[in-house]
Amino acid sequence: MNNASIIDFDLSATGDQTAGEQAIAVLIPCYNEERTIARVVADFRKQLPRATIYVFDNNSTDRTAAIAAQCGAVVIAEPRQGKGFVVQSMFRHVEADLYIMVDGDDTYPAAAVHSLLQPVLSNRADMVVGSRLLPGTRSRFKRLNLLGNQFFLSTLNSVFNTQLSDILSGYRGFSRTFVKSVALVGGGFEVETELTIKALEAGMRIVEVPTDLSERPEGSFSKIHKVRDGIRILCTIFALLRDYKPLAFFGCLALAFSAAALVPGSVVIWEYLRTGLVPRIPSAVLAVGMGLVAGLCLTVGIILHSMTRRICELEYLIRSVANQNIKKVGAAQRRQAA
């Protein structure tokens, strides 16, 4: 697959004093975006004249792929339907030093791309998120989308102890290290949530910069299914909580079962203390059963917790070896292109 071209990055635009030549790849996932894709490609070409623009097309039934190719984008077909599969494919196959991902629906301002690149260029961030909800932004959200975003945000912020302002933004910048070391598995719109949680868990640095969000033009439609994708995003948050914070996850389950066991259990104990008898056998069995399940949950949580810690240590070692290789490959490619 093509490599991103080497560009002389405009340092004055990013305010960066240290970066030299960097290969930038603009990644655009697309599914039926014929109305807007030409404008998106042209706008990013204007902002980053020598970056390589990739349009990842997912079985579009309209002219998205043809228009993108006419506009000079590298069009790549991804047969597995879903934004998450497309992002996996982008991360696996595109070689560059810096990556920008943006929707093909012309709702994010191309002019903001420099503020997304700057923290990665100055080595302050591994992932930069264009937050549509930071103070001072002018974002046109549909009411339900805003409610959904706030709900997922408060769930994630409380579960993972963070203070992020937008986890569902599709406008992001990434370092090469991030792109080549974060393993994604989700196939659909849960990909943004997965990117954020995996970045946090891998100790990557996330920086949010303000960006506006405009409405899709007339005749262009969002691909998100509010109920189906909302459930998938919520399931992703809980699945990643189970995987990365098992003691909290199974500890909460143990607490819930203990509390439930107390309802029939307290009656049985009270009667036993008063009369010395256990007349309500079913309640006693139910309470003991739920108490056992609570104990089992806690045991599973403790075992998984210590396994996760050991795996984290192992991952750290693997990542530091991989990072050295990623840097070496990047340097070799730059030398080759020069």
The residues that touch Mg ion, with contacts defined as CB under 5 A, are 103, 105, 107
Helix residue ranges, H only, 80-225: 83-93, 113-121, 143-160, 176-181, 191-201
Least Å distance, CB 108 to ligand GDP, is 9
Establish if 81 lies at the interface with ligand GDP (CB under 6 A): yes
Shortest Cβ 98–ligand GDP spacing (Å)? 20
Rank residues 49 and 217 by Cβ distance to Mg ion and give the closer one: 217
CB crowding 137-155: b at 16 or more within 10 Å, else e: bebeeeeeeeebbeebbeb
Q: Which is nearer to Mg ion, 170 or 246 (CB)?
A: 170
CB–CB of 127/178 below 8 Å? yes
Closest CA to 118 of 252, 235, 24: 24
Q: Which does 264 bind (CB under 5 to 8 A by kind): ligand GDP, Mg ion, none?
A: none
Asked if 146 and 154 count as a contact pair (C-beta separation under 8 A), the reply is no
Question: Does residue 33 interact with ligand GDP by CB under 6 A?
Answer: yes
Query: Which H or E run contains 174?
Result: strand 172-175
* Of 97 and 166, CB closest to ligand GDP: 166
Taking the alpha carbons at both ends of the chain, their separation in whole angstroms is: 19
Q: Which does 223 bind (CB under 5 to 8 A by kind): Mg ion, ligand GDP, none?
A: ligand GDP
The CA distance from 159 to 315, in Å, is: 22
| Contact (Cβ atoms closer than 8 angstroms) between residue 268 and residue 284 | yes
Where do we find the tokens 């750290």? 316
170 binds ligand GDP (CB under 6 A): yes
- Applying CB under 6 A, among 31, 44, 54, 171 the residue interacting with ligand GDP is 31
Position 186 contacts ligand GDP (CB under 6 A)? no
Rounded to whole angstroms, the Cα distance separating 203 from 319 reads 11
The interface mask with ligand GDP, positions 85-114, x = CB under 6 A, is -x----------------xxx---------
**Which of the listed partners (ligand GDP, Mg ion, none) does 192 bind, with a CB threshold of 5 to 8 Å by partner kind?**
none
Q: Where does this chain bind ligand GDP (CB under 6 A)?
A: 29-31, 33, 56, 58, 78, 81-83, 86, 103-105, 170, 222-224
